[in-house]
């Protein structure tokens, strides 16, 4: 019999209940599942800490949007996932989120490199069940939105580093160039230079930010 210890972290109890029901109903005959749940960063941090000193979790599911910890150390599921990777190195880390922007997907893959990355709007009960089994034995498993992003990024011949990605992301949110240095610790002139380089990279001939953003979207950077 294979015993699987699971931690599910989401601030919506009904969503956790749904995940639990799916996994319990679709587990293999030779599997027994023990599922702990947490609705905020404080509870999750305590459970991860406890697991690091005792019976570890085989799989941890993290939603990204969570109430922050009372000490401010953990502000999201991303922070918890990084903590879990550090203290539970053999645990499979799964991100489950509503966020589907390319910028967030890129950051999560780069910073966390999760064993599973599931966009909630992609999921059916059957896909969650299949994803869970693959993550257990043959990770990683990415849902369709994440897969499409990864394919686009690999196909693209344009190299855009993290600072440039952030510039594109902020411009797409309507942030003016003169205000970019409130979000990125570079001078206005350095940011202007990067923006010009991006326009060269994306072959923008009319010089417009709107055209740059349109090209960036088409190439999967936004």
**Torsion, Cα of 152, 155, 157, 159 (10° steps):** 50
Helix ranges, the chain (H) = 13-26, 41-53, 77-87, 102-111, 125-137, 144-155, 162-172, 188-201, 209-218
CATH code of domain 2-152: 3.40.50.2300
Taking every pair of Cα atoms in the chain, the longest distance, rounded to a whole number of angstroms, is 64
Question: Domain extents for the chain?
Answer: 2-152, 162-218
Look up residue 48 and give its two tokens. 């991860």
The predicted model scores a pTM of 0.76
Residue 86: its pLDDT value, please? 96
- The pLDDT tens digits of the residues spanning 140-160 come to 999 999 988 888 877 776 677
63, containing H or E segment? strand 59-63
- Among 143, 155, 87, 93, residue whose Cα is nearest residue 118: 143
The pLDDT confidence band at residue 127, using thresholds 50, 70 and 90, is: very high
Q: List, for residues 75-93, the tens digit of each pLDDT value.
A: 999 999 999 999 999 999 9
pLDDT, position 157 = 62
In this prediction, residue 158 carries a pLDDT of 65
Q: What is the pLDDT of residues 168-219, one digit of tens each?
A: 999 999 999 999 999 999 999 899 889 988 887 888 888 889 999 999 888 8
Residue 33 has pLDDT above 80, yes or no: yes
- pLDDT at 4 exceeding the cut of 70: yes
Say if residues 95 and 140 touch (Cβ distance below 8 Å): no
């Amino acid at each position: 019999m294979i015993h699987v210890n699971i931690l599910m972290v989401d601030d919506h109890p009904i969503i956790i209940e749904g995940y639990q029901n799916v996994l319990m109903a679709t587990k293999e005959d030779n599997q027994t599942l023990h599922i702990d749940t947490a609705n905020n960063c404080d509870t999750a941090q305590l459970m991860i800490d406890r697991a690091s000193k005792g019976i570890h979790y085989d799989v941890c599911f993290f939603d990204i949007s969570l109430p922050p910890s009372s000490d401010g150390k953990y502000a999201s599921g991303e922070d918890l996932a990084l903590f879990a990777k550090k203290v539970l190195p053999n645990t499979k880390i799964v991100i489950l989120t509503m966020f589907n922007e390319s910028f967030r997907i890129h950051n999560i893959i780069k910073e966390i490199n999760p064993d599973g990355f599931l966009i909630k709007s992609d999921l059916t009960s059957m896909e969650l069940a299949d994803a869970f089994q693959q993550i257990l034995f043959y990770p990683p498993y990415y849902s369709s939105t994440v897969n499409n992003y990864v394919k686009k990024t690999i196909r693209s011949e344009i190299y855009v580093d993290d600072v440039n990605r952030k510039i594109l992301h902020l411009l797409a949110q309507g942030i003016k160039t003169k205000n970019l240095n409130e979000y990125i610790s570079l001078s206005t002139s350095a940011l202007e230079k990067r923006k010009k380089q991006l326009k060269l990279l994306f072959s923008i001939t009319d010089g417009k930010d709107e055209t740059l953003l349109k090209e960036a979207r088409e190439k999967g950077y936004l």
